[in-house]
Amino acid sequence: MKSTLRIVLVGTQHPGNIGSAARAMKTMGLYELHLVRPHKFPHPEATALAAGATDLLDSAVLHESLADAVADCHFVVGTSSRRREVPLPEYLPRQAAEQLLQAGMSGNAALVFGCERTGLENEDLQRCHATVCIPANPEYASLNLAAAVQVLAYEFRMAMLASGTRQETVSISLADPDEAPASHEDMERFFGHLTELMEHVDFHKGRAPEIVTSRLRRLYLRAQMDKREIKILRGLFSDTQRMLRISQKQQTEK
């Protein structure tokens, strides 16, 4: 059994953890490894600790940003060991696995891990639909990166087995492309357009926009819109901007 679930490691500091993560993935039938700004890769230590999973290292895709790594994904779950400033739906590993499996049936899904020392930064969590936390011993919750990958990869495989999935890839084709889930790239364009509109109408009125922007991102990501819904909303934004320009022109001419 193989799955198209994408494992994304962000800012990994120790190359050995990349190799160990690849090994953990392959034992659970996961093959899509994406790396965002790894400190040292390729590296002999990564190859040594991959122990038979060097094919995942050879095919690993490198990115300069998380946005690039999940651009074509429509459901992204970030790992976190503690509550953050970015409020997102929080799953236990088994729940996250079920959500990722379901999402993978209609598009690309990604599971994202931050660097060993600090985990995912708030900026990266903003790009996630939800978070997952492994309920480790609160008196010693320090979990190695590769071990965390192993735990979540195992839960995903169990979800696949429980669902009865026996096909090489977990996917379905949609008759109407506009009914496909919006990708991360679609959503980022949408958020850019929304920001532009809010600036056009002076929505923030001189106040810092970060809190409102964060809440709106959370709202629209939670909706998990399809491409048609994105087109409708962006069409509304465009018409609003057009009418504002007409009104402003008429005011100027007076």
Q: What percent of the chain has pLDDT over 70?
A: 92
Averaged pLDDT for residues 112-128? 93
Residues 6+ apart with CB under 8 A from 26: 52, 53, 55, 56
Give the bridge partners for 226, in sequence order. Answer: 181
Averaged pLDDT for residues 186-194? 93
CA atoms within a 13 Å half-sphere pointing along the CA-CB vector of 98:
6
Residue 67: burial class (beta carbons within 10 Å; 0-12, 13-18, 19+): middle
189 residue type, one letter: R
- For residue 162, is pLDDT > 60? yes
How high is the mean pLDDT of the chain?
A: 90
How far, CA to CA in Å, does 214 sit from each of 127, 130, 198? 10, 13, 14
Whole-number pLDDT of residue 84: 60
Averaged pLDDT for residues 30-36? 97
Q: What percent of the chain has pLDDT over 90?
A: 66
Whole-number pLDDT of residue 170: 41
Whole-number pLDDT of residue 142: 83
pLDDT digits (tens, 9 = 90+) for 49-108: 999 999 999 999 999 999 999 999 999 999 987 666 667 899 999 999 999 999 988 889
CB 63 within 8 A of CB 36: yes
Averaged pLDDT for residues 104-116? 93
Give the bridge partners for 76, in sequence order. Answer: 110
CATH of 3-163, one of 3.40.1280.10, 3.40.50.10470, 3.20.20.70, 2.60.120.470: 3.40.1280.10
Q: What residues does each domain of the chain span?
A: 3-163, 177-253
Whole-number pLDDT of residue 22: 98
Whole-number pLDDT of residue 252: 85
CATH of 177-253, one of 3.40.50.880, 3.30.300.30, 2.60.120.590, 1.10.8.590: 1.10.8.590
Task: Tell me, yes or no, if the pTM score tops 0.85.
Answer: no
Whole-number pLDDT of residue 180: 84
Task: Give which of 243, 191, 179 is closest to 220, Cα–Cα.
Answer: 191
